[in-house]
Each structure stands twice: as C-alpha cells, then as structure tokens.
Structure 1
Amino acid sequence: MRHILVFAKTPHAKTPYDRWLAGTGIVPVIVTAHEYADGYAHLPHVYAFADYDTNQLVEKTALRLAREFAVEAVFARAEADVVRAAQLRELLGLPGQHTASALAFRDKVVMKDHLAGGPVEIPAYRKLDSAYTAVEFVAEHGYPVVVKPVSESGSLGTRVIRDEADLDACLAAPWRGSSEIEVFIPGQMYHVDGLVLGGEVAFVHPFRYLNDCLSFRDDDWVANLPLTPQDPLYDRLVKAAQAVLAELPTPPQTAFHSEFWITPDDRLVFCEIASRTGGGMISSMVRHAFGIDLDKEWLYGECGLPPTLGTPSYRPAGALCIPPQSGVLEQLPTGETGAERPECIREEALTGAAGREYHGGVKSGLFLAGYVVDGDTEEEVAANLERVAGWFSDNTRWRRLSAPAPAPAGGTA
C-alpha cells in the first residue's frame, strides 16, 4: 500500500481525497484542523489539531507520520500549509515544491524581488521594517500607498493609506508580522488561475472580479467571471501569468492563482501570485465552467498519476461569495423561508448557521454563503450573480448587536 501525506485545511466535501484516490492504490494520511475532522473521520489515518495555522505540533506530527508511513509525496492546497509542506518535502527528500519556491510564491517581497526588472510591470515596493521606511517611501512616492502582510491570503490585513492620518493609524496599530509597502495601483483587478503539470502549463484562464477582492471590508459581496477568448484582455493576461511563472522558481506540479491590475491608462501591473488554487468558490466555478477539478488534477500530479482533465470544454459560469454582516444571524434563505431559490444556482456552500454572532467580513476567501451561478452568456451570468446576491440579501435576516430592544406593542419604550 502506498501513502501520501495531506495537509487538509478544507472540508471533506470540498476535497474528498479518498474518493479522488480510490482505485489508485494510494491511501491519504490526513493532517487537518479540528473543525474539519468529522468530515474525514471515516478514513483510517486522520490527525486533527486546534489552532491549526500556528500550532507547530502539526509539523512535528506530520514529520512522524511521513516517516512512519514512508509517504511518497506531500500535498497541501491551503496558503497556511505551503511553506510547512515544502519544508517537509525538503527535509525528507521528497519531490515537489521546496522551501525557496514556496517562499517565492508566499512572501510578497521575495516574490517581487524575483520579478523586478522582468517582462511584467510591478509596483514600486519595499519591505516595511520600520516607521522610518514608511515615511521615506511616502516621501518618495506620495499617497496613496498600500501596506500589506507579506504572507497572508485573501487580502487579510491589507490597508490603503491615503493620507497622514491613515499612516498614523497604521503605525499605531501595525500588523503583527512582516509587512511590505507599495504604491497604490488604480484600475480593475483580474485574476488568472491555472495548473502546472510536469513543468508545463496544462490549463490557464483569466477572470474578472465583479466588485473587487477588498469588498469584504464593506461586508459586500465579490464575484468572479471568466473572460471569453475573444476579450481583448484575454491574451494579455494569459501571457502575463505565463511570464510570471517563468520568472519564479515554479514547482513542476502546482495550481496557481495570480492577480493583475489593468490601469485606466491600459497598463498591466502585477499584484501577486500563489502556488495554490484560488480561494472562495473559484475552484467550484472552474469545475462547472470547464469540467476541470483543479485540486484533483494537482493531487494526481503530486502523486505521479496521469491527468484526467482531457480537453476542457466551456460553459458560462461565475462564482459569488457573500461575507457575513455584523450582528446575530437570524435567518438564511433556505427552503424554510419560503424564498424561491433562483434557478441559475448550480452549487451552494453555506458556512454559517442561524443564532451565530458575526463581526463582518474577515478576508476575501472566507464567506458566509458561496454560489456558482450559470447562464447562457457571460452577460447573463453577470446579471445572475447580482440577482443571487440581491435574493440572498432580501431573504437573510440579521439582528444588530447595537440595536435597542423593540418597544412593546401599543406602548413606548
């Protein structure tokens, strides 16, 4: 029996590793977070941890298991696991992404150091090691600037600094960890997602955001929509993503999620890239739109199994992620509400429950409700995404924490 160690920071419903590997003779050894453990409980080798992202017993246990089961490969699809998986592979001499590559795809300063002077424009940037650096950078480049953690995902911790008051607030309450500062790039953001197998790009496609990846800051929804090959930006974005992959120490098997701006004066500017599948509902959208499960194909690549993606077909589809509001969730638009579910919904993921208290959006990839929506054309999909967002808002009820108790009927408070 062959074994692969899997860092599984996703629910089993999203990543059913045992079903994907059925019939291959490969058994997954699962290391996961407590909140996902029940979904994998039917498997023979499951090890769950609290405080998964920062608990270093995860690494200690993974090393023991990798040796005990003589694993042939290590698989990790979550941003929090990219470096720990790479370090484990390197320590054990296993194939796949090693530490230098992982850091180039995870640390935004290391990433841009690789790309500086290359074929794709990048923003002016510096590692933010002190307040002096921030003051000097602003003096050189002016406002606005952006301060972001070097190794977080989903725009977590990203701050747009527009004036001196914003800068003072940022310096008074800095992000705990390494940060970078870069010039603010105006424009529309796009992302390019794909798959590298055997050192070659096996799938690549560009998408546009409806709203943007910082919409969660305003507790607003964000959506993703594929570009058609006829779109004038299609080839530019694909070539830019391929150029970035060529400049970086790209592993031979990986999914990737990259982001670019198109500025008002039509410049294409690099934002960032990750060696993993995109967050939110992106993987689900790709599966519905192209018939490809990026995570499954990536897993097969890591295991040395032949790909099953074939020749991708295409049907219009989009992804929608809706963050929580601030308050107590009293009602979701389920069948019990009597709200008619829009017929364009092809997949739904609800991560919350009535009675729970929330404090607004946390990061762009985390959501209260996620949907894959289809339509006959890209324009119809875009309209359906907005329609589903409106339907969800109309049929979801919140109780604001600051709201006073209602007055008794027939009287006054």
Structure 2
Amino acid sequence: MPHVLVFAKTPYAKTPYDRWLAGSGVEPVILTTTEFAAGYGHLPHVHAFDDYDTNQLVEKTALRLAREHAVTAVFARAEADVVRAAQLRDLLDLPGQRTASALAFRDKVVMKDHLVGGPVEIPAYRALDSAYTALEFIAEHGYPVVIKPLSESGSLGAAIIRDEAELDAYLARPWRGASEIEVFVPGQMYHVDGLVVNGEVVFAHPFRYLNDCLSFRANDWVANLPLTPQDPVHDRLLKAARAVLAELPTPPHTAFHAELWITPDDRTVFCEIASRTGGGMISSMVRHAFGIDLDKEWLYAECGLPSTLGTPAYRPTGALCIPPSNGVLNRLPSGDEPACVKEVALTGTVGQEFHGGVKSGLFLAGYVVGGDTEEDVAANLENVAAWFADRAQWSPAPKGGTR
C-alpha cells in the first residue's frame, strides 16, 4: 500500500487525513504536535512532538519514516513545515515542492527578488541584517517603514515604524535575527486564495479583510469576506495573483494565499504570498462558500489521486477570528450562537490564562458566518463579534506567574 508522509500541524477535526483518503489505497503517516496527537490517535502511524516548529527530531523521524514506509508523497499545509517538507523531498527525490521553491514562498526577500521588475508592483525593500541597514534604508526612503521577520506567518513580529522614537524603541529590543525592511504601503489589504494542480490555477478567488492583519495587536477581531465578480477590484486582484505565481518557481501542486493592497491612489501593490492554504478560518470559509475543500484537493493532487473539484456554487459567506484578551477566561460563549453562524472553532478552555493576541491566524474563537448577500454577511460578522464580546467573561490574571 502506498503511503503519504503528512506533517500535520492542525487538529484532526480540521484535517481528517484518513477520512479524506478512505478508499484511495493511500495510507497517511502522521507527524504532529503533542497538542493534536490525541485526535489522530486512532491511526496506526502517528508520531507527536513537543516544540513541534523548532524540534529537529521532527526531521529525523520524518526521514526514518519516509524510508521505512517507502512513501510516495509528502504533504505539508502549515507554514512551519513548508521548508522541512521540501528538503525531505529533495533528499529522497520525491515529487512536489523542492527547497528553492519553498524558500521563494517563505523568505520575504527571496520572494521579492523573484518579482523585481515584474508585472506586479512591489514596495521598496531590503534584507535587514543590522541597525545600520535600517538607518540607511530610512535615510533613503523616509518613514514609515515596516520591519518583518523573513519567514514568519500571520504578521508575527511585524512592526510599523513611523518615526525615530519608534525606531529607537524597536532597536532597543532583543535582535530577532534576519528580517526585511520595506516602505509602508497605505490602503485596503486583500487576499487571493486558490489551488494549483498540474501547473494550472484551478481555483482562485479574492477576499477583503474587515479590520486588518494587525488587529490582533489590539486583541481585536479580523474577518474575511469574498468579493463579488462585480466588485471593481475583483479581476485586478485575480490577475495580479496569477502574475505573481507565474513569476515565482510555483510547484506543480499547491494551495496559495496571496496578500495585496489597493492603495488610496488606486495602485495594486504586492505584499506577500505563501504556498499553503490561508490561516484562521479561511479554508473553512472557502468550503462553505464554494463547496471546495482546498486542503483535501491539494492532498489528492500530491498523492496523484483524481480531483473531486466540481463547479463552484457560491453562497455568501465570511470568516471571523477573535483573539483572546489578557487575563483568565471565565466564560467561553458556546451553544447559543446567532443563526447566521455555520461553523465554530474554539481553541481555549475556561480557566485558561491568555496574554492577548499572538498572530493573525491564531484565535480563541473562529466562526464561519453566512447571509443572503455580501452586505448581510459583513453585518453578521460584526454582530457575531459583538455577541461574543458581550458573553465572554474575563478576570485579571493572578499575580506571580502564569497557569
């Protein structure tokens, strides 16, 4: 029986690999986090790790299992696994995304180096290796600027620097390692999510953010809403995303999550792109809105299985992610959600202590929300966020440590 090695940094309810592969003749071999291990516990080949993102025993075990089971494919849907999966494919000469491609979708400087001079505008940028580089860049381009880690996701570690005082505060912090500095781009941010199979974009759709990717910094919610084909920027965003994929060493099979701005002076400017499905509730939203499970279809393509992708039938749907507050969670609303809620994902428990939002893709409560029109959905997203805020209860964290 052929086996697929799966880097599974997601709970079983989100990615039931054995159910997806039932009847296909392909068996999954799972590497996952200690946190999610129980969900996959009924499967015959499950290996769990503490500190999953940085634990190099994940790589050692992956290589051993890939050889032991003579795997024919490697699947990895999380940002932390993109490069480690590609390196394994290189080592064992397996099909799929290789390391050079993975770095182009993971390292923000390598990514933009591929896109310089291409059809999509990119902001001025530079690899940031020291404070001297930041000073030189700001002297040339002025404030504001954005400093980002080279390979984090979900806006983790990103900082907007508006003046010298904010630069001094940033430079006084511990050095985060290799980063990128770029000019700040004002405007509305959008994202395009889709799927590439056999080198062709078989699905793509643009979405707009309600609030923005940095809302979690203020412990505020972020939401995603599909654009209608009639929206004046719908086609522009699709064209830009396709152009970016054409400029990059895009693998033959991949999901993708691209972020772009429309500026106040109506320019389309590239932010970044990932060779994976979007975080938060994006995959669930796409499944409810279009009847397409991007992760399942991507897995099928990697395993050489026939696609089950049908003709999308769109239903107005949005996604909402609510980060935790600071303190101890005393009440987590559940069971009496508004009628517009189509799917719920709760990641915390009563009695747990939190320290606010960590990154845009991580949430305490996630919701897929429906409606009759896009306007209905936008209003419902706001209403569900208000409903949660009204019912969640918090108390100050105890002094002298964390739980």
TM over 0.5: yes
Corresponding residue of 1:379: 375
- Could you say which residue in structure 1 is the equivalent of 2:357? 361
What is residue 117 of structure 1 aligned with on the other side?
117
Distance 1:358 1:112 in 2: 35
For residues 330-382 of structure 1, give each alpha carbon's deviation from its aligned partner in whole angstroms, at most 9, with x where no partner exists. 001124xxxx4200000000000110100000000000000000000000000
Q: Please tell me the residue identity of whatever aligns with 1:356.
A: Q
Q: Is the 8 A contact 1:258 1:274 kept in 2?
A: yes
What is the CA distance between 1:280 and its match in structure 2? 0.1
Deviation at 1:310, TM superposition (A): 1.2
Query: 1:128·1:134 contact (CA, 8 Å) conserved in 2?
Result: yes
In 2: Cα distance, 1:315 partner to 1:218 partner: 31
Specify the alignment match of 1:198 in structure 2. Answer: 198
Q: Tell me which amino acid in the other structure corresponds to 2:152.
A: E
Asked whether 1:137 is paired with 2:137, we answer: yes
Offset, 1:402: 7.6
Structure 2 Cα separation of the partners of residues 357 and 175 of structure 1 = 28
Q: Which structure 1 segments of 5+ residues have no match?
A: 404-413
Q: 1:341 aligns with which of 337, 340, 354?
A: 337
The residue aligned with 1:300 is: 300
Alpha-carbon distance in structure 2 between the residues aligned to 1:249 and 1:169:
37
CA contact (8 A) 2:129 2:177 kept: no
The residue type equivalent to 2:192 in the other structure is V
8 A contact 1:149–1:175 mirrored in 2? no
Secondary structure of 1:381 counterpart: helix
- Kindly indicate whether the alpha-carbon contact (under 8 Å) linking 1:316 and 1:376 is maintained by their aligned counterparts in 2: yes
Alignment partner of 1:212 is 2:212: yes
Q: How is 1:257-276 mapped onto 2 (pairs within 5 angstroms)?
A: 257-276=257-276
Write the mapping of 1:128-207 to structure 2, written as runs, cut at 5 A. 128-207=128-207
| Counterpart contact for 1:9–1:33, Cα < 8 Å | yes
- For 1:246-325, list aligned pairs within 5 A: 246-325=246-325
Match status 1:397 vs 2:360 = no
Per the normalisation by structure 2, the TM-score is 0.98
Whole-Å Cα distance in 1 between the matches of residues 110 and 174 of structure 2?
A: 21
Per the TM alignment, residue 174 of structure 1 is displaced from its structure 2 partner at its CA by: 4.3
AA in 2 matched with 1:103: L
Whether the 8 Å CA contact 1:255–1:277 is kept in 2: the answer is yes
Give the whole-Å Cα distance in 2 for the aligned partners of 1:175 and 1:324.
27
Secondary structure (helix, strand or coil) at the match of 1:371 reads strand
Cα distance in 1 for partners of 2:183, 2:394 equals 38
Separation in 2 of the partners of 1:160 and 1:98?
33
How far did 1:401 drift?
A: 2.9
String of CA shifts for 1:17-46, please: whole Å, max 9, x gaps: 000000000000001110000000000000
Q: Is the 8 A contact 1:157 1:175 kept in 2?
A: no
Counterparts of 1:178 and 1:49 in 2: how far apart (Å)?
26
**Amino acid paired to 1:382:** A
SS for the counterpart of 2:209 is: strand
Q: Report the Cα distance in structure 1 between the residues aligned to 2:212 and 2:368, rounded to whole angstroms.
A: 17
2:370 maps to 1:388: no
Alpha carbons 1:223, 1:318 under 8 Å: kept: yes
In 1: Cα distance, 2:160 partner to 2:130 partner: 17
Match of 2:40 in 1: 40
Quote the residue 2:69 is aligned against: 69
Q: Please say if residues 222 and 321 of structure 1, whose CA atoms lie closer than 8 Å, have aligned partners that are also in contact.
A: yes
3-state SS, counterpart of residue 238 of structure 1: helix
Q: TM-score, normalised by structure 1?
A: 0.96
- Report the CA distance between 1:175 and its aligned residue: 4.6
Bigger Rg, which one: 1
**Which residue of structure 2 aligns with residue 102 of structure 1?**
102
1:173 to partner: Cα distance? 1.1
2:369 match: secondary structure: strand
Structure-2 separation of matches of 1:2 and 1:196: 23
Distance 1:263 1:178 in 2: 28
Tell me the alpha carbon deviations over residues 44-102 of structure 1, each in whole angstroms, 9 at most, x when there is no partner: 00000000000000000000000000000000000000000000001000000000000
C-alpha distance in 2 between matches for 1:207 and 1:286: 10
* Structure 2 gaps, min length 5: none
Paired with 1:402 and 1:222, the residues of 2 have a C-alpha distance of 28
d(CA) in 2 for partners of 1:132, 1:354: 47
Contact 1:2 1:71 in 2 (8 A): yes
Question: Structure 1 segments of 4 or more deviating over 6 A?
Answer: none
CA change 1:192–1:174 in 2 (3 A) is farther
Within 1, Cα distance between the matches of 2:174 and 2:209? 28
Aligned equivalents of 1:141 and 1:188: distance in 2? 22
Cα distance change, pair 210–356 in 1 and its aligned pair in 2 (3 A): same
Calculate the aligned-residue CA RMSD, in Å: 0.9
Between the aligned residues of both structures, percent identity stands at 80
